[in-house]
């Protein structure tokens, strides 16, 4: 059974600038041109009575990318240029946010580092495509803002500063913009920079304490389900904000490569350095108000909980399943589930077969909750799917740990990876798990 609309884990959301990007490969024959295109400087649209005045960014001096090469958001299969707002470095949004550089992109938005000319700080500006409605996301953020709480997990969530609309200069459609505090790189960007390209046990523990604290706040006090926990949505905090001012100065001294087109400029994202701050859970674009009896297709494809695959109702325990998936990704060298057949297509049968190899046979009461169960199991709960159940288990897949430490880690993981959602531990229970607390009081 193929999934009609697979959700992708956007690895390229905030990419590091490659040492040898595609437009440079093969020498000058690729059409890459180091000469500069002289375009009008980004104009200051608004004049503010403030100590922070908009800066003037270079009008030339950058490396030009041949128009035939696809850059950043242009590589997205669904990309349509008229849907994206043509942001320019130096542009001022909403009378106060001056764009100083591109942080990343995705299928529905581009993300930019901006100077807040009134607040005298840096912020992240997310500019959505004009066909995307984010009323649900804004509703969740407004709900969180209304909660008066001293819960420590609230500080582990990135808040929304404000939202506004901007009119597309080439049409009559509006784009929604969200303003967030500026943060560092994502865990998805961090892990390739680490020894072995995976986190140590102590790094995973530190990260999880913050994410589980954030989830405990969302589930218990806010009554919100995140539904989209993945390494790309966990960003490092910034202890030293000089990395942001250095980011801005780098754009002035050595402008980032870009492709100049008649109606827009496609910029290459400028990577941020490692910031060593506290991990923060971000992006509530798929968040849901209410923690019980939800329905619908959610979660990144390979992270989907079994109840989501089988079209059951679901609750906040999908977030707990997500955390288990993230732990494995951060700690191991491969995803726990591939969930794809040989052709590379996402396949529910393959996904469920891999789950059975890792979790064992699902309980009969779980299978009874879905009309799809007979497609994969017979009346006695025996697997009958077209894809055979793989010949491995969780113990054989985990290769980094030994003896007691491995046993303790897998026991912790099994508290999250259960067929029955009600058997999964809560975020608060997991915070006090012996494996997670190991070394905390030394």
Three-state DSSP at 92 gives strand
The reply, when asked if residue 317 is annotated as ligand binding, is: no
Rounded to whole angstroms, how far apart are CA atoms 274 and 372? Answer: 45
From first CA to last CA, the distance across the chain in angstroms is: 50
Taking a C-beta distance cutoff of 8 angstroms, is the pair 199, 211 a contact? no
Rounded to whole angstroms, how far apart are CA atoms 329 and 201? Answer: 12
> Using alpha carbons only, what angle is made at residue 370 by residues 369 and 373, rounded to the nearest 5 degrees?
120
Nearest residue to 92 (alpha-carbon basis) of 103, 100, 102: 100
Burial class (CB in 10 A: 0-12, 13-18, 19+), 214: buried
Rounded to whole angstroms, how far apart are CA atoms 440 and 442? Answer: 6
Active site residues: 228
Rounded to whole angstroms, how far apart are CA atoms 6 and 114? Answer: 32
Tokens of 206: 């530190």
| 109-113-116-117 Cα dihedral, nearest 10 degrees | -110
Known binding positions for ATP = 126
Known binding positions = 126
């Amino acid at each position: 059974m193929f999934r009609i609309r697979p959700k992708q884990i956007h690895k390229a959301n905030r990419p590091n600038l490659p040492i040898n990007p595609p437009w440079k490969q093969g020498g000058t024959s690729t059409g890459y041109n180091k000469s500069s295109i002289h375009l009008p400087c980004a104009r200051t649209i608004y004049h503010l009575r403030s100590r922070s005045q908009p800066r003037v960014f270079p009008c030339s001096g950058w490396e030009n990318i041949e128009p035939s090469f696809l850059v950043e958001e242009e590589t997205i299969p669904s990309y349509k240029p008229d849907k994206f707002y043509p942001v320019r470095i130096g542009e001022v949004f909403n009378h106060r946010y001056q764009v100083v550089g591109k942080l990343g992109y995705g299928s529905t938005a581009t993300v930019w580092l901006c100077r807040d000319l009134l607040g005298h700080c840096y912020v992240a500006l997310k500019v959505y495509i004009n066909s995307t409605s984010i009323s649900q996301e804004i509703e969740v953020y407004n709900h969180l803002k209304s909660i008066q709480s001293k819960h420590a997990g609230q500080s582990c969530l990135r808040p929304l500063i404000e939202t506004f609309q901007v009119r597309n200069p080439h049409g009559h459609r509006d784009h929604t913009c969200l303003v967030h505090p500026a943060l560092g790189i994502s865990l998805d960007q961090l892990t390739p920079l680490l020894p072995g390209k995976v986190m140590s046990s102590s790094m995973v523990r530190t990260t999880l304490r913050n994410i589980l604290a954030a989830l405990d706040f969302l589930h218990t006090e806010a009554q919100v389900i995140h539904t989209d926990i993945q390494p790309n949505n966990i960003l490092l905090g910034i202890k030293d904000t000089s990395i942001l001012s250095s980011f801005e100065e780098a754009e002035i001294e050595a402008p980032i490569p870009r492709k100049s087109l008649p109606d827009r400029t496609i910029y290459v994202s400028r990577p941020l350095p490692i910031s060593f701050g506290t991990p923060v859970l971000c992006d509530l674009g798929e968040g849901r108000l209410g923690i019980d009896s939800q329905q619908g297709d959610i979660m990144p494809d390979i992270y989907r909980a079994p109840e989501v695959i089988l079209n059951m109702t679901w609750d906040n325990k999908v977030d707990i399943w997500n955390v288990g998936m993230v732990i494995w990704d951060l700690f191991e060298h491969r995803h726990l589930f591939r969930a794809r057949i040989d052709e590379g297509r996402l396949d529910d049968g393959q996904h469920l077969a891999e789950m059975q190899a890792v979790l064992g046979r699902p309980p009969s009461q779980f299978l009874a909750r879905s009309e799809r169960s007979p497609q994969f199991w017979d009346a006695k709960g025996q697997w009958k799917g077209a894809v055979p159940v793989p010949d491995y288990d969780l113990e054989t897949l985990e290769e980094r740990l030994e003896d007691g430490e491995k046993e303790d880690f897998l026991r912790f993981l099994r508290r999250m990876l259960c067929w029955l959602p009600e058997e999964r531990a809560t975020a608060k229970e997991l915070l006090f798990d012996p494996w997670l607390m190991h070394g905390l009081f030394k």
